[in-house]
Amino acid sequence: MIAHSPLDDRIASALTREVVPEVRAFAGKLAQAADALGVLFYGSNLRTGSLEGVLDFYVLLPGAQVERIWPRVSYHEWTHDGVPLRAKVATMALETFRAAAAGERIDTTIWARFVQPSALAWQRDAAAGAAIAQAVAGAARTAARLAVALGPDAGTPEDYWRALFRATYAAEFRVEKAGREDSILAANRAHFDGLLPLALGAAGIAVTQEGGHLRPTLPANERARILSWWARRRRLGKPYNVLRLLKASTTFEGAARYAAWKIERHTGVPVKITPWRERHPILAAPGVLWQVWRGKREKTA
């Protein structure tokens, strides 16, 4: 029998969180089309249960990873029982997802994203579900290790999670509002409550609790090793994300419309989509970024 840590049990339970029937139906449709092992649902719509905007899914496949630059991103629209649904779908092999969540790849997104709430909206069978839960637990361990290496010698769990999210956002080619990490923690208090000590324990890092503060026992050489691991990913984070954006531009139908929605949602700056921008999202990107920068300056002024 496979031994499960308290973290494994918590993550497996969390992945069974309720999602609305329309989302499960959409996940099943995506899974059947891809012959998937499972489909993870995440993002703000998971928390709110809303079907507005764009639903976020990860479709996890059996076998080896096909693409060298992953995941494969696509955009889908589907009307289910008269309800129009839109989804951004990332597709990749489960084994690559597991390795990225465990910090074995250069990627900076998988473990930082899936230490946040997600739900297993569809699974092929119990074995597939268990493998996916193990991978998501790996994301929590990886995130916790970096959080305590970046954070203070002692602090609240929120101090460590803030340090983690600030660092990962800065390493990615993303447009986020200042204080985004605070909104993530505030919106998902129940999810993060008690998660850090469990993840540190599963990662082999001892921690003592003094009131509401934690004091991880992280030897200097181990902290240096983790920070060295992170330094390489931080340096390569933006170039790697640019490669992903370039790849997505060739496979993501409706990419310009999706990007405009995402930018306005996170910055409050509306982006006008012209026919030229729709046809040439990469060539249009510098002009869009300039428009967003000017819009944010005007709002600040």
- pLDDT band for position 210 (50/70/90)? confident
**Mean pLDDT of the chain, nearest integer:** 88
The domain limits of the chain are 6-251, 255-299
Q: What is the DSSP string of 160-215?
A: HHHHHHHHHHHHSS----TTHHHHHHHHTHHHHTTHHHHHHHHTT--EEEETTEEE
Say yes or no to pLDDT of 278 above 70: no
pTM for the structure as a whole? 0.83
Say yes or no to pLDDT of 291 above 50: yes
Return d(Cα 297, Cα 299) in angstroms, integer. Answer: 5
Phi, psi (deg, nearest 5) at residue 206: -70, 150
Tell me, what's the pLDDT at 255? Answer: 66
Give the residue-averaged pLDDT of 189-208: 96
Chain segment 6-44, per-residue pLDDT in tens: 999 999 999 999 999 999 999 999 999 999 999 999 999
* Helix, strand, or coil (residue 241): helix
Tell me, what's the pLDDT at 241? Answer: 76
Long-range contacts, stretch 2-9, CB < 8 angstroms, 24+ apart? 5/137, 5/198, 5/201, 5/202, 6/198, 6/201, 6/202, 7/137, 7/140, 7/141, 7/198, 7/199, 7/201, 7/202, 8/133, 8/134, 8/137, 8/202
Say yes or no to pLDDT of 130 above 80: yes
Say yes or no to pLDDT of 293 above 60: yes
Tokens of 150: 């970046």
Tell me, what's the pLDDT at 283? Answer: 63
Say yes or no to pLDDT of 104 above 50: yes
Chain segment 141-185, per-residue pLDDT in tens: 999 999 999 999 999 999 999 999 999 988 876 655 667 889 999
Of the ranges 1-5, 38-42, 60-64, which one carries the lowest mean pLDDT score? 1-5
* Position with higher pLDDT, 237 vs 91: 91
For residue 52, the one-letter residue type is E
